[in-house]
Amino acid sequence: MAIPSIRTSAICLAALVGAAPTTVAQDTAPIETRLQALLDSAVTNGSTPGIMMRVEAPAFGLSFSGVAGVADLDSGTPLTRDNPVRIASNTKTFLAAATLRLWEDGRLGLDDPVSKYLSPEHAAVLEADGYDLRAMSVRHLLTHTSGLFDYADRDLFVQAIFADPTRRWTPEEQIGLAMEWGDPYGAPGEVYRYSDTGYVVLGLVLEAACGKPLASVLREMLPFDHLAMEDTWLETLEDPPPGASDRAHQYMGEQDTYDFDPSLDLYGGGGLVSTADDMAVFMRALFTGGVYRAAATADTMLTTVEGAGPGPDLSGMPMVPGRYRMGVEVGEQDGLTLYMHTGFWGTLAAYVPEPDVAISIAVTQQQSRALFRVFAGVLELLAAELAAEPAAVPARSGAPAAPGVRS
């Protein structure tokens, strides 16, 4: 059984959602009312059990958190903003940020060879399949230009998950499957190709650089407490924060995946549980201060190793070299520049540098297209507000300039 990928390019957003709603820009209701209407419309047709969204837009005087639908189809329990969800590949943004924090502190180099950090056992598995770990750098892992074959590209992995949803996978098993199921996409730096395997290896690099488990690395390097992110944790690899609410149930078609073991996507490529509120707060902090020691580090996050694309991934979406940076992808929609990432289970987090807006959305139906329709509606609303009343968006005295985008 093939699972359609949700590694959606920001550039391809318009093609996925079709024409964005035109009534949003014409409505004179308050922004909060229009945002909630987008959420309500996502669940009225019954295809999306629940949806949550946070829009943080200080320039508009807006800090909106909204939900619609239920957290559990069987019980009918209403979804709340405090119900966390598995955010899958949105975890990569957090892992990249932790890597850059270690780089700031001089504890690893972005151009350090991967061979410097991997154990002899892990290195032997990769080298036996033809990977040159001395040529492969931390930067290559961050930008998906390592050439590492992605174990998640094979239907065999999906079949194994559904055959035994409660199986506890190890990172070694997932790396081993990548070596067994596919050859290198190319030499390091030669090809851009999204790879969950690369971020699993990056997780091992961070553990080696810090001498502690990945959950502890993220806690040490990222300001969860300072940002009051009380609903974000690495599932089963650390205890939930005190008072954390129960996870919302997430569905794939009619399949409730609540009891699937998180180890199917846990060790860096995914694994975090979070809420729309926490994701938006973190995404904005990345680019306005609050995560890095130096503002220039956000510029570094937006650099890439371009490589040459090998063509579409399994979802049929083109993998365009240069769009993916370090844990974020750069795109444009409705005239707005976006720094964003998506997650397999139906999550999205984005930052719009002008006019300083963070948007995060989570739907609880993996196959729902409502995620992108709602996102497109929010972007159209923001673009219309800017076009209609540019004077209403005040200059942000002392606010950081948008980080430079370099290839």
Name the residue ranges covered by the structural domains of the chain: 13-392
Instruction: Quickly name the fold that domain 13-392 has.
Output: Beta-lactamase (3.40.710)
From the CB of residue 305, how many other CB atoms can be counted at a distance below 10 Å? 23
192-215 per-position pLDDT tens digit: 999 999 999 999 999 999 999 999
Cis bond before residue 310 (omega within 30° of 0): no
Predicted TM-score (pTM) of the model is: 0.91
CA distance linking residue 21 with residue 25, whole number of Å: 8
For 395: left if phi > 0, alpha if psi spans -120 to 50, otherwise beta; the answer is beta
Average pLDDT value over all residues in the chain? 89
The tens digit of pLDDT for each residue in 127-172 reads: 999 999 999 999 999 999 999 999 998 889 989 999 999 999 999 9
CB atoms within 10 A of CB 268: 31
